[in-house]
Structure 1
Amino acid sequence: MTFILFIVGLAFLILGAEVLVRGASKIATALGISPLIIGLTVVAFGTSSPELAISINGVLSGQADISLGNVIGSNIFNILFILGISALITPLYVTKQLIRFDVPLMIGLSVVLFLVSLDQTINFFDGLLLVIGLLFYLIVLAVLSFKKGSTENRSDRNSLEDQTTQEELNWFKNIILVAGGLALLVLGSQWFVNGAVSIASYLGFSELIIGLTIVAAGTSMPEVVTSIIAAIRGERDIAVGNVVGSNIFNILSVIGISTILAPSGIPVSEPIIGYDIPLMIVVAIACLPIFFTGGTINRWEGALFLSYYIAYTLYLAFNATQHDLLPIFNYIMLYFVIPLTVITIIVVVFQEMVGKSKTPPNQAH
């Protein structure tokens, strides 16, 4: 019965997010909002809503480790696994706005989360600041959308309207979709968390490991589906924007709102401060040089991301069970794989910069 509730809960989460995104996207389209902004806000927030539902439920039920581990694990999963899989399907195009604004913001917020965690508690005041930051982020995106302006916005809106029937723009129907999606998320999150905790606890895993792996991957399924479909359809900027936007929303809204609702804040354990949050920061920083190289994420870069997520999952499994292979695994990663990766990225970025410097001015423009 526990396993059935776990599966049904996960299905409700995915279905709820899909319904919520569909209804909210149609409302946004009816209002004439830019597709890029829809990807960074409506789609990103909608696909992050399972994380929000899971985290709130975890906080209210006294399982705060799942709440924080869910966000950290989801952010790592989103970049390494989702971008990795999507880039393997087709090289992903990265817009200048993502490189200049959204990715640096994602890195900055990851550092902020680390700083507010140093006292081993994310308190009400920290959560309030994150929620205020969310409001400012939405305002900045609205301003950027407005500046992009008239021509791009009109052409995007016209192309969307050509594909949208009158029924799809029915306000009542879309509001029902949003409300129904939220209801499925709330119910699904409760069943999913209870099932995941029971199963993983039976297998001897801690709540933190559960949050970093099972719950994080499960609640990121909407992002997986959205980005893969976007990559297959050639909507590459949406595939990347969905991941970056989701990571930003995870920190600002999921952690922020969960902390405000937590009676005594969210406790942060030493392993999270010493390993998991720094890893999340490193993964976020790794996006910049890879995004910088030609404005695309190539297939080999996607394979690199994916292989690192597999290595991260193996580490969590070895560490949780104190497997005999853990010291050997750590040695290989620390002294061979990571240095080789850093050297490769530096060489690629250097070649890219040299190539740009040799480009004649008339061709650069």
Structure 2
Amino acid sequence: MIYITFLAGLCFLLVGAEMLVRGASRLAARLGISPLVIGLTVVAFGTSSPELAVSIKASLADQAGIAMGNVVGSNIFNVLFILGLSAMVTPLVVAQQLIRFDIPLMVALSAALLLLVLDGQLSRLDGLLLAAGLVAYIAFLLYQNARSRLDTTAESDSTPPASNAWVVNLVLVVAGLALLVLGSRWLVEGAVTFASYLGVSEQVIGLTIIAAGTSLPEVMTSLIAALRGERDIAVGNVVGSNVFNILGVLGVSSLIASSGITVPPAMISFDIPVMLAVAVACLPICFTGGVIQRWEGALLLGYYIAYTLYLILATTQHDALAGFTGVMLYFVLPLTLLTLAILSLQELKRRSGRVV
């Protein structure tokens, strides 16, 4: 029965997120919000709504490992797996606004989260700061949208939408939220049961199974966007989702938790720094030519496989853990950093030459 409940919860999360995104994006479009802003807010936040629902449920149940692990694992999954897989399907063009503002913001927020949890807890005050940051971020994007509308002379749709269209979209939003609430409850209950049965910590379950499960809406959104040629949306969806996960999901979850969210020491010393490193890696990858090439996508996907394998080896205390860690630390990582550094220097020379 627990398997059925777990799978049903995951399906409800996916269907609910799809309904929420579809209804909210149509309503936003009716209000004259640009596609880029919709991608960074409505679509990105909507596809992150499973993470929000799961983390809130876990916080209320005092399951801090799942609440924090879900967000950290999802952010790692979004960059390494989703961007990697999407870029392998087709090279991803990265909008300049993402390179100049949104990706650096994602890096800054990842670093800020690491600083906030050094005391072992994400307090309610921390949550308030994060939630306020989300409000400021949305306000900034809306300001940019309003300014771009003033700068352009594009014709607007003068035909008022049918009243039943508004009703249908509102029903989609409400029904989507209801499915997310129910799905998150079943998914968390199933995951906790799995963790206790297999002897795996809630932290690892949150970083892997739940993180990947709640990120499936982002997977489908980015893959479909890449296949349809909307390649900047594929990247914007990931970046916007990561920003929302830190500001919105952790902000709200820590606010409603009785005493904030207690952060496991292993997550402070390893998983959150990995999340920060993954965010930093986006800068040179997206900066070089403004395109994520197929080989770069394969590199990102390979690192996600390596990260997951490390979690499994560490959890089971496998004999291969020491050798695997040594290869990654002393060969793979230095080679990757050297390659990205060379590519970044070449891009800087190319751009400086073009300016001159």
Q: Does the TM-score normalized on the shorter chain lie above 0.5?
A: yes
Aligned to 1:179: 174
The residue that corresponds to 2:98 in the other structure is 98
1:80 is aligned to 2:75: no
Deviation at 1:355, TM superposition (A): 2.3
What is residue 195 of structure 2 aligned with on the other side? 200
- Among 191, 215, 224, the alignment partner of 2:219 is 224
Alignment partners' CA distance in 2, 1:277 and 1:203: 24
1:244 paired residue number: 239
User: What is residue 324 of structure 1 aligned with on the other side?
Assistant: 319
Counterpart of 1:36 in structure 2 is 36
Q: Equivalent of 1:310, from 277, 301, 305?
A: 305
Per-residue Cα deviation, 1:1-39 (whole angstroms, up to 9, x for no partner): 100111111000000000000000000011110000000
Query: Match of 1:154, SS?
Result: coil
Q: 1:15 — aligned with what?
A: 15
* Residue range with higher mean Cα deviation, 199-208 or 175-184: 199-208
Tell me how far 1:76 sits from its aligned partner.
0.3
Once residues 153 and 245 of structure 1 are traced to their aligned partners in structure 2, the CA distance between those partners, rounded to angstroms, is 27
The amino acid of 1:356's aligned partner reads R
Between 1:142-151 and 1:260-269, the stretch displaced more is: 142-151
Shift of 1:152: 5.2
**Matching residue within 165, 190, 195 for 2:185:** 190
Alignment of 1:30-179 (within 5 A): 30-150=30-150, 154=154, 170-179=165-174
Q: CA deviation at 1:351?
A: 1.6
Partner SS for 1:354: helix
Query: Would the aligned equivalents of 1:315 and 1:326 in 2 still touch at CA under 8 Å?
Result: yes
Cα distance between partner residues in 2 of 1:350 and 1:244: 24
Please report how far the alpha carbon of residue 353 of structure 1 lies from its aligned counterpart in structure 2 after TM superposition: 1.9
Matches within 5 A, 1:341-360: 341-359=336-354
Post-superposition shift, 1:144?
1.2
Contact 1:26/1:169, CA 8 A, preserved across alignment: no
Preserved CA contact (<8 Å) 2:30 2:161? no
Which 5+ residue runs of structure 2 have no aligned equivalent? none
Partner of 2:251: 256
TM-fit CA distance, 1:360: 6.8
| Matched-pair contact (CA < 8 Å) for 1:12–1:184 | yes
Contact 1:110/1:251, CA 8 A, preserved across alignment: yes
Instruction: Say whether the 8 Å CA contact 1:51–1:250 is kept in structure 2.
Output: yes
Secondary structure of 2:259's partner?
Answer: coil
- One-letter amino acid of the structure 2 residue matched with residue 110 of structure 1: S
Deviation at 1:97, TM superposition (A): 0.8
CA contact (8 A) 1:87 1:298 kept: yes
Amino acid at match of 1:134: L
Quote the Cα distance in structure 1 between the aligned partners of 2:238 and 2:164: 27
SS at match of 2:32: coil
Kept in 2, the 8 Å contact 1:34–1:153? The answer is no
Compute the RMSD of aligned alpha carbons: 1.7
Which of residues 263, 266, 270 in structure 2 aligns to 1:268?
A: 263
Q: What are the residue-to-residue correspondences of 1:327-342 with 2, within 5 Å? A: 327-342=322-337
**Identity across the alignment (%):** 59
Counterpart-to-counterpart distance in 1, 2:196 and 2:97: 43
Q: What TM-score, normalized to structure 2? A: 0.97
Partners of 1:343 and 1:112 lie apart in 2 by 26
Q: What corresponds to 1:298 in structure 2? A: 293
Among residues 198, 205, 213, which one is paired with 1:210 in the alignment? Answer: 205
Change in 2 beyond 3 A, CA 1:212/1:142: same
Q: Aligned partners of 2:39 and 2:163: how far apart in 1?
A: 18
CA distance in 2, matches of 1:255, 1:355: 40
